[in-house]
């Protein structure tokens, strides 16, 4: 009677361990409550709290300042100059038959106001076009970054789902290992097996308990990462919905690589950014060429002298048209021209490299989907067979037909198959999203809240005037 009660408690101990492992930390504290998030809510929180979109938006603001700086080539300049002259001795002028009179006073105050209006600068138009391309580059980099953040949130969300599913599998594995240990002890007391069977079952149960602890800690780590992305401090009580598939699984007949690649060339914001960088480098080189052009300017100046003297008239005005032809500047323009040409070559190569990298991403994503699809088809059958095999072997062991090694081997196979099925199931879901990310259409899953237009992704009020300025 005592041994039967002891075995019953051992099995129930495993179940209690599973139960308490599933409880969120802080459950008994009375102050923490579970916060359940959908994937859409997680994405929304990430855009509200994460720093990357805000930093990228500041780059747009900086690009707008750089574009407006181009107007400084044609904007007027106004300068005020105040000077004081002291001459000793005083310069006098003596004419025949007249008294000596001062020609230049010993103290003279002069004030000059000069307005300079450039009429033509060869750097203005290239600088303006370079600024516009820079703004387009900043917006496309912003769009790419926020979509990458969106994909990161989805990946972290699925990591929590995967860790949660692995924890559930680990708890069920502990239940099976506890039952196996109870069977071994019962047969040992009946004298049909040796102590070795009990020790093997205890070792296997200890290994399963260690896996359970690792699963629980992995779940907390995944929740911490997701909590960082969405700005939730109490990550331990963060919960996610078990079903959050963003898109249906593709059919066996996948789209051709060429069609996906053509779609990526149209949709990928990082490729658009590389093209904008190439255009900006071209206009940067033309801006250097503009420094070889003549400069036309008009100067309007006012001169006030106190006291007035014969050589200078107070309250006088002058208008001067200037043509400045740059000839030599110590070779600075030629070096800048060579540097701009090299930057243009680098931008072109960067654009070509990005195109090739995108094609590789699409091929790898599609091959990964195909591999995981085949693995899942096999693993589902493998888990079913392993579970059936373990049940039969356990019954045979209780009847004295199978050995403890057979039971432990079938349980190990079942545990391995279950873990692989969970891991590859969620990896398959992420791989589907990764293919959409590689094509550049991942954000379409959130079209109602975050359409393709960058203005509506986030910082709406700050971005709404940028398009008007470019028109």
Q: What is the pLDDT of residues 101-148, one digit of tens each?
A: 565 666 788 899 999 999 999 999 999 999 999 999 998 898 888 888
Residue with more model confidence, 221 or 13: 221
Q: What is the pLDDT of residues 343-353, one digit of tens each?
A: 999 999 999 99
The torsion of the CA quartet 228, 229, 234, 235, rounded to 10 degrees, works out to: -90
Q: What is the mean pLDDT of residues 449-465?
A: 44
Q: What is the mean pLDDT of residues 13-27?
A: 46
Residue located via tokens 């969300």:
157
Residue located via tokens 């654009």:
351
Q: Residues of 214-232 as b/e, b for ≥16 C-beta within 10 angstroms? A: ebbebbbebbbbbbebbeb
Question: Which among 238, 287, 267 is positioned nearest to 123, based on CA atoms?
Answer: 287
Question: Which among 73, 92, 162, 78 is positioned nearest to 425, based on CA atoms?
Answer: 162
The torsion of the CA quartet 99, 100, 103, 109, rounded to 10 degrees, works out to: -100
Q: Is the pLDDT of residue 70 over 60?
A: yes
Q: Is the pLDDT of residue 19 over 70?
A: no
Q: Is the pLDDT of residue 454 over 50?
A: no
Say what the pLDDT of residue 46 is: 82
Q: Is the pLDDT of residue 187 over 50?
A: yes
Q: Is the pLDDT of residue 279 over 90?
A: yes
Say what the pLDDT of residue 357 is: 95
Domain boundaries, the chain: 2-73+122-291+326-470, 76-89+104-121+293-325
String of DSSP letters for 132-179 = HHHHHHHHHHHHHHHHHHHHHHHHHHHHHHHHHHHHHHHHHHHHHHHH
* pLDDT classification of 459: cutoffs 50, 70, 90: very low
Q: What is the pLDDT of residues 390-438, one digit of tens each?
A: 999 999 999 888 898 999 999 999 999 999 999 999 999 899 889 989 9
Percent pLDDT > 90 in the chain is: 53
Say what the pLDDT of residue 455 is: 44
What's the chain's average pLDDT? Answer: 82
Residue with more model confidence, 357 or 461: 357
Say what the pLDDT of residue 104 is: 64
Cβ neighbours of residue 265 closer than 8 Å, sequence gap 6 or more: 271, 355, 358
Say what the pLDDT of residue 97 is: 60
Q: What is the mean pLDDT of residues 33-39?
A: 76
Helix (H, G, I), strand (E, B) or coil at 107: strand
Percent pLDDT > 70 in the chain is: 80
Residue with more model confidence, 32 or 318: 318
- φ and ψ of 89, to 5 deg: -80, 170
Q: Residues of 166-176 as b/e, b for ≥16 C-beta within 10 angstroms? A: bbbbbbebbbb
**Cβ-contact 233, 227 below 8 angstroms:** yes
Q: What is the mean pLDDT of residues 353-363?
A: 94
**Cβ-contact 58, 463 below 8 angstroms:** no
Helix (H, G, I), strand (E, B) or coil at 188: helix
Residue located via tokens 């190990």:
412
Say what the pLDDT of residue 387 is: 94
Cβ neighbours of residue 21 closer than 8 Å, sequence gap 6 or more: 167, 170, 171, 212, 216
Q: Which CATH superfamily is domain 2-73+122-291+326-470 in?
A: Outer membrane efflux proteins (OEP) (1.20.1600.10)
* pLDDT classification of 99: cutoffs 50, 70, 90: low
Say what the pLDDT of residue 446 is: 59
**Cβ-contact 41, 236 below 8 angstroms:** no
Say what the pLDDT of residue 312 is: 74
Q: Is the pLDDT of residue 24 over 90?
A: no
Say what the pLDDT of residue 51 is: 83
Say what the pLDDT of residue 422 is: 93
């Amino acid at each position: 009677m005592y041994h039967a009660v002891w075995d019953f408690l051992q099995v129930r101990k495993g179940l209690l361990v599973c139960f308490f492992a599933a409880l969120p930390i802080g459950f008994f504290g009375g102050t923490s409550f579970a916060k359940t998030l959908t994937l859409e809510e997680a994405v929304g929180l990430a855009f509200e709290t994460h720093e990357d979109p805000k930093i990228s938006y500041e780059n747009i603001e900086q690009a707008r300042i750089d574009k407006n700086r181009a107007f400084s080539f044609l904007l007027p300049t106004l300068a005020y100059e105040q000077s004081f002259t002291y001459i000793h001795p005083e310069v006098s002028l003596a004419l025949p038959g007249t008294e000596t009179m001062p020609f230049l006073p010993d103290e003279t105050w002069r004030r000059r106001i000069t307005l300079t209006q450039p009429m033509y600068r060869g750097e203005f138009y290239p600088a303006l076009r370079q600024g516009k391309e820079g703004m387009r580059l900043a917006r496309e980099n912003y769009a790419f970054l926020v979509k990458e953040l969106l994909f990161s949130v989805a990946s972290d969300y699925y990591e929590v789902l995967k860790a949660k599913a692995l924890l559930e599998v680990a708890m069920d594995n502990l239940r099976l290992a506890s039952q196996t240990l109870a069977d071994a002890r019962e047969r040992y007391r009946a004298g049909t097996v040796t102590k070795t069977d009990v020790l093997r079952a205890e070792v296997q149960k200890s290994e399963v308990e260690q896996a359970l602890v690792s699963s629980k800690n992995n779940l907390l780590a995944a929740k911490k990462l997701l909590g960082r992305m969405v700005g939730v401090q109490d990550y331990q009580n963060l919960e996610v919905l078990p079903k959050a598939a963003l898109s249906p699984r593709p059919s066996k007949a996948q789209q051709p690589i060429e069609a996906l690649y053509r779609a990526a060339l149209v949709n990928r914001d990082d490729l658009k950014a590389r093209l904008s960088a190439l255009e900006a480098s071209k206009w940067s080189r033309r801006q250097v060429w503009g420094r070889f052009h003549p400069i036309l300017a008009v100067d309007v100046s006012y001169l006030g002298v106190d006291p007035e003297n014969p050589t200078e008239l107070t309250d006088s005005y002058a208008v001067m048209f200037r043509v400045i032809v740059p000839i030599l500047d110590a070779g600075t323009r030629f070096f800048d021209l060579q540097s701009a040409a090299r930057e243009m070559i680098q931008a072109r190569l960067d654009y070509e490299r990005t195109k090739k990298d995108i094609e590789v991403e699409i091929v790898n994503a599609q091959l990964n989907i195909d591999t995981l699809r085949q693995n899942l088809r096999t693993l589902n059958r493998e888990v079913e067979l392993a579970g059936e095999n373990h049940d039969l072997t356990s019954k045979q062991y209780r009847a004295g037909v199978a050995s403890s090694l057979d039971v432990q081997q079938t349980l190990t196979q079942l545990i391995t198959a279950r873990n692989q099925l969970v891991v590859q199931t969620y990896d398959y879901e992420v791989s589907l999203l990764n293919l959409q990310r590689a094509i550049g259409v991942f954000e379409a899953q959130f079209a109602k809240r975050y359409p393709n237009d960058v203005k509506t992704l986030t910082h709406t009020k700050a971005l709404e005037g940028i398009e008007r300025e470019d028109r």
